[in-house]
């Protein structure tokens, strides 16, 4: 539209130039006519002047002859003719000066006409060149804008896919929480049975302590009997019969006591065997519970990443593993441990807090990428507005014809403004290219930092390089890798909290057993009482997931993007 306006103004300038040429021709004709009239009058005055000169040059006789009739009249005529000649001479000088001015003005007009003609030709050539450059730059800018629109559309589709996957992940987390709530009842039942077993074990320990006390008492009595025998040996000769009698009695009592001691020792060994068997059964039962919890947690984590028939098959395998309570059905976590080791190698530290900080930094980088995309969207909207302003042509007002100098200055100003605006668009386009290259560099850094595989990128995009054409596939792989890291981290945290819960629950149960045990004097203290362990925490997985939610961005929704696209298409149709 700007080119049409320039063509229209060029046509007006040519029309005005032709009008100026016609006006110049008319003025030349008028001046030529005036010059001819002045020449005719000059000829008449020259003839009259000759006559007057002839009169002045007459002889004395001729003067007397002519003046004899009326000398006074002759003198008056002479003065009148002289004044007339003087006046005509003055008029002739003025006409000659005016003729010189007219000739100079005519030459100046002719020179200006040639200059205006050359300037018009140069301006037309410059306008055509600027129009061609502007058309080429406009075509390139439209191509780049179309490429950016396609890229943004692909990014929005990927974002909608990520939102769907996030919803699926939240649904799997809810299912995991429901499974945890269902598992809480049998866990409480097992805990109650274990508490009863520990109470029985504490009672057996108390019985052993009592038997030990009775044994000590019997040994003390035996020592007293030996002392009595030693004291009575001095009176052996005097009270031989009494000593024999007492010896027999003591031997019989000793035999009975030894039998009782043997019986007590045998019963003590049986009690110890029973205690060791009970402890072994408790440890076996604890290992079964731990394997069941580990199997169910692993099954829930795997179910969060699978759907359909694979999740049903894994549930059947997990149920078989729970029923068998053996280690053959447990999944292997070597892959996840390898991923965690690879992540620690990338971070350069084995501390889980450093790994979490690195993941947070990755999320911040991702937020920065989304912010850059939003900035690109805003810049694209501004370019659309500029394009609309350029396409809108202001109605030309019917103004009186201006001089050629004003028209030339106006056309030159508009041409400079068009060049400046084209240069600004080119600079913005270069800035956008640099920004896109910077974004590709950040995506490449995240791709290699997270350990994404180039084989997968080659299968999806056909090349093994992160570029502008493969940035969407690289972002998809980065998102998938981050989800795997989050799943592994949630599993590690879940196992850690489970171990802490088992330890705290054991200490809590033993503490309850110690409190419910009847207090007896001289009873042995249990060694299983632990007050340094923390209390049991509930809803650990939910707290972890809520505390480490997936990142969100401020990218416009799909509806807003469709509205913007529809508006841009309408503007293109109007153009």
Mean pLDDT of the region 204-217: 76
15: left (phi over 0), alpha (psi -120 to 50) or beta: alpha
Residue 80 lies in a domain: yes
Residue 295 lies in a domain: no
Q: What's the Cα-to-Cα distance from 398 to each of 12, 401, 405, rounded to whole Å?
A: 12, 9, 19
Residue 44 lies in a domain: yes
Mean pLDDT of the region 13-42: 85
Residue 132 lies in a domain: yes
Residue 124 lies in a domain: yes
Angle ∠(525,526,532) on CA atoms, nearest 5: 110
Q: Does residue 503 register a pLDDT over 80?
A: no
Residue 389 lies in a domain: no
Nearest-CA neighbor of 499 among 204, 294, 345? 294
CA distance 258 to 572: 114
Q: What is the pLDDT of residue 313?
A: 42
Cβ neighbours for 440, distance < 8 A, ≥ 6 positions apart: 466, 467, 468, 471
| Sign of the four-CA dihedral 135, 140, 142, 143 | positive
CA distance 327 to 347: 33
Which of the pair, 221 or 61, is modelled with greater confidence?
221
List the domain range (segments joined by +) for residue 74.
2-144
Nearest-CA neighbor of 27 among 120, 110, 88? 110
Residue 81 lies in a domain: yes
Distance, C-alpha 341 to centroid of its chain: 28
Please tell me what DSSP assigns to residue 276. H
pLDDT one-digit tens code per residue, 328-341: 333 444 555 666 67
Q: What is the pLDDT of residue 271?
A: 61
513's tokens: 């057993």
Nearest-CA neighbor of 439 among 475, 481, 477, 479? 475
Total domains, the chain: 1
| Sign of the four-CA dihedral 523, 527, 530, 532 | positive
Nearest-CA neighbor of 34 among 94, 82, 85, 115? 94
230's tokens: 């030693």
End-to-end CA distance of the chain: give it in Å, rounded: 9
Distance, C-alpha 438 to centroid of its chain: 13
Contact by Cβ (8 Å): 401, 19: yes
pLDDT one-digit tens code per residue, 45-55: 877 777 777 77
**For residue 111, what is the domain's CATH number?**
1.10.287
Q: Does residue 439 register a pLDDT over 60?
A: yes
| b/e code 250-269 from CB counts within 10 Å (16+ = b) | beeeeeebeeeeeeeeeeee
Q: What is the pLDDT of residue 520?
A: 40
Percent of the chain with pLDDT over 90: 0
Most confident range, picked from 73-77, 189-193, 250-254, 365-369: 189-193
Q: Does residue 540 register a pLDDT over 70?
A: no
Nearest-CA neighbor of 212 among 270, 278, 268? 268
Residue 239 lies in a domain: no
Contact by Cβ (8 Å): 373, 151: no
Which of the pair, 107 or 371, is modelled with greater confidence?
107
CA distance 470 to 464: 9
DSSP symbols for 467-524: -STTHHHHHHHHHHHHHHHHHHHHHHHHHHHHHHHHHHHHHHHHHHHHHHSPP-TTPP
Cβ neighbours for 374, distance < 8 A, ≥ 6 positions apart: 553, 554, 555, 556
DSSP symbols for 512-570: HHHHHSPP-TTPPPPS----SSPPP-S-HHHHHHHHTPPP---PPPHHHHHHHHHHHHH
Q: What is the pLDDT of residue 562?
A: 55
Contact by Cβ (8 Å): 571, 384: yes
Q: Does residue 359 register a pLDDT over 80?
A: no
Mean pLDDT of the region 140-153: 87
Q: Does residue 559 register a pLDDT over 50?
A: no
Q: Does residue 550 register a pLDDT over 70?
A: no
């Amino acid at each position: 539209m700007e080119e049409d306006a320039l063509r229209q103004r060029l046509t007006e300038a040519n029309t005005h130039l032709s009008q100026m040429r016609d006006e110049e021709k008319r003025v030349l004709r008028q001046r030529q006519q005036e010059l001819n009239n002045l020449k005719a009058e000059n000829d008449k005055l020259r003839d009259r002047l000759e006559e007057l000169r002839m009169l002045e040059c007459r002889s004395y006789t001729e003067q007397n002859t002519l003046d004899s009739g009326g000398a006074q009249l002759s003198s008056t005529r002479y003065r009148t003719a002289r004044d007339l000649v003087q006046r005509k001479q003055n008029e002739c000088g003025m006409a000659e000066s005016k003729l010189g001015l007219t000739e100079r003005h005519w030459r100046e007009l002719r020179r200006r006409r040639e200059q205006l003609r050359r300037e018009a030709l140069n301006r037309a050539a410059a306008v055509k060149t600027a129009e061609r450059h502007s058309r080429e730059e406009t075509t390139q800018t439209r191509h780049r804008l179309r490429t950016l629109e396609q890229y943004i559309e692909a990014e929005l589709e990927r974002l909608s896919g990520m939102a769907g996957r996030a919803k699926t992940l939240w649904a799997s987390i809810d299912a995991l929480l429901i499974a945890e709530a269902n598992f809480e009842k049998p866990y409480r039942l097992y805990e109650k049975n274990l508490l009863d077993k520990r109470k029985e074990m504490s009672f057996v320990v108390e019985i052993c302590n009592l038997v030990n006390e009775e044994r000590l008492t019997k040994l003390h009595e035996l020592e007293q009997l030996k002392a009595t025998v030693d004291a009575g040996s001095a009176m052996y000769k005097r009270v031989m019969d009494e000593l024999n009698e007492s010896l027999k009695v003591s031997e019989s009592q000793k035999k009975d006591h030894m039998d009782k001691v043997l019986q007590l020792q045998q019963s003590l060994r049986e009690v110890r065997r029973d205690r060791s068997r009970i402890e072994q059964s408790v440890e076996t039962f604890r290992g079964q519970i731990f394997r069941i919890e580990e199997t169910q947690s692993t099954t829930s984590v795997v179910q969060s990443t699978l759907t359909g028939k694979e999740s049903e098959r894994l549930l059947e395998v997990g149920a078989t593993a729970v029923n068998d309570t053996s280690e053959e059905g447990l999944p292997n976590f070597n892959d996840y441990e390898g991923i965690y080791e690879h992540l620690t190698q990338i971070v350069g530290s084995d501390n889980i807090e450093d790994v979490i900080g690195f993941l947070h930094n990755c999320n911040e980088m991702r937020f920065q990428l989304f912010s850059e995309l939003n900035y690109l969207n805003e810049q694209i909207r501004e370019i659309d507005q500029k394009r609309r302003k350029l396409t809108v042509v202001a109605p030309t007002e019917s103004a009186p014809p201006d001089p050629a100098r004003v028209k030339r200055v106006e056309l030159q100003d508009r041409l400079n403004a068009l060049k400046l605006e084209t240069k600004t668009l080119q600079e913005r386009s270069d800035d956008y290219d640099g920004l896109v290259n910077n974004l590709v560099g950040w995506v490449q850094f995240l791709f290699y930092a997270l350990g994404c595989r180039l084989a997968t990128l080659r299968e999806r995009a056909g090349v093994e390089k992160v570029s502008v054409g493969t940035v969407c596939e690289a972002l998809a792989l980065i998102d998938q890798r981050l989800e795997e890291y989050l799943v592994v981290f949630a599993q590690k945290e879940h196992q850690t909290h489970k171990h802490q819960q088992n330890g705290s629950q054991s200490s809590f149960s033993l503490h309850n057993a110690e409190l419910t045990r009847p207090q007896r004097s001289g009873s042995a203290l249990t060694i299983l009482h632990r007050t340094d362990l923390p209390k049991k925490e509930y809803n650990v997985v939910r707290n972890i997931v809520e505390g480490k939610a997936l990142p969100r961005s401020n990218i416009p929704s799909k509806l807003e993007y469709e509205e913007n696209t529809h508006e841009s298409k309408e503007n293109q149709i109007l153009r």
